[in-house]
Amino acid sequence: MNIPDIPQLKPFDVLSKDNVLTITIRKEFDFGSLHQDWSHSIITLNPGPFNQVKLDLTMCGLVSSTFFAGLMQLHFHYTDTGSRPITLVKPDHRVVRNLAVMKMDKMFVIIDR
């Protein structure tokens, strides 16, 4: 009996093109356990180096602390391999506020919504 492959659900999409890594966080990021180890899997499959890393947040709102922990993993890995600071593309204003409260906002380039 053949069991069909079940696609692995991920709350993000990754595109590597022209030495730029673009990670798009989908709105279902915080549903269940889909987000666990998200940054580790991105780093493992896309170790770099990249000139630039962009994190597209246009589709999601407020995110959990797991997101911020993963964001820091991405930051340290990619800046250590020579990337410019990560660009956060159109994050929710609450995410920007939380970054400022944690004194992390200056670590990223933020493109406002």
Report residue 38's pLDDT band, with 50, 70 and 90 as the boundaries: confident
Residue-number span of the structural domain to which 20 is assigned: 12-111
Which contacts (CB < 8 Å, 24+ apart) does range 104-110 have? Answer: 104/68, 104/72, 107/75, 108/75, 109/84, 109/85
CA distance 85 to 79: 6
Which pLDDT belongs to residue 29? 76
Which pLDDT belongs to residue 10? 76
* CATH number of the domain to which 60 belongs: 3.30.750.24
Specify if 1 maps to a domain: no
Report residue 21's pLDDT band, with 50, 70 and 90 as the boundaries: very high
| φ, ψ (nearest 5 deg) of residue 27 | -65, -20
pLDDT digits (tens, 9 = 90+) for 52-108: 999 999 998 888 888 899 999 999 999 999 999 999 999 999 999 999 999 999 999
**Total structural domains in the chain?**
1
